[in-house]
């Protein structure tokens, strides 16, 4: 799962002001070094590999309900609407990139979101 961790790391670190730290023994990414937006989950209370991330209201229920083989309600933070995404299945990395960006937007400061929007405008994305 090293490749999945590296792909996730690349997506997370592409966010303005993203900082990686170990939290609970797992790589975790913070917006502006302060608020968690993604946490890698390697065999955390099960035999699966994935990540947990902040998600807009209703997204967790929608995705878990539609594709439980790819998405799950993570322990500890699932009750707050966070989304779990399995990485030990076939992964659509473009979709994961969108999920990571949305998680970032959920917790980042307005200044950091403006930086991200400026990056997207400069590169013609979003």
Q: What is the mean pLDDT of the chain?
A: 93
pLDDT of 47 > 90? The answer is no
Q: What is the pLDDT of residue 1?
A: 53
Q: What is the pLDDT of residue 83?
A: 98
Q: What is the pTM of this model?
A: 0.92
What token pair was written down for 56?
Answer: 């807009």
- Inter-CA distances, 1 with 27, 90, 126, Å: 13, 12, 29
pLDDT of 124 > 60? The answer is yes
Q: What is the pLDDT of residue 2?
A: 65
Average pLDDT over residues 53-80: 96
Q: What is the pLDDT of residue 44?
A: 62
By CB atoms closer than 10 A (0-12, 13-18, 19+), residue 42 is middle
CA distance 50 to 72: 9
Residue 124 DSSP class: T
């Amino acid at each position: 799962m090293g490749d999945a961790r590296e792909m996730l790391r690349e997506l997370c670190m592409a966010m303005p002001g993203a900082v990686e730290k170990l939290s609970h023994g797992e790589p975790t990414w913070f917006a502006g070094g302060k608020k968690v937006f993604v946490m890698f989950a390697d065999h955390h209370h099960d035999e699966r590999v994935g990540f947990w991330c902040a998600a807009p209201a209703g997204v967790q229920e929608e995705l878990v309900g539609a594709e439980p083989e790819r998405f799950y309600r993570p322990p500890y933070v699932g009750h707050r609407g966070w989304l779990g995404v399995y990485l030990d299945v076939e992964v659509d990395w473009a979709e994961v990139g969108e999920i990571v960006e949305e998680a970032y937007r959920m917790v980042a400061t307005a200044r950091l979101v403006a930086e991200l929007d400026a990056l997207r405008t400069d590169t013609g994305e979003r």
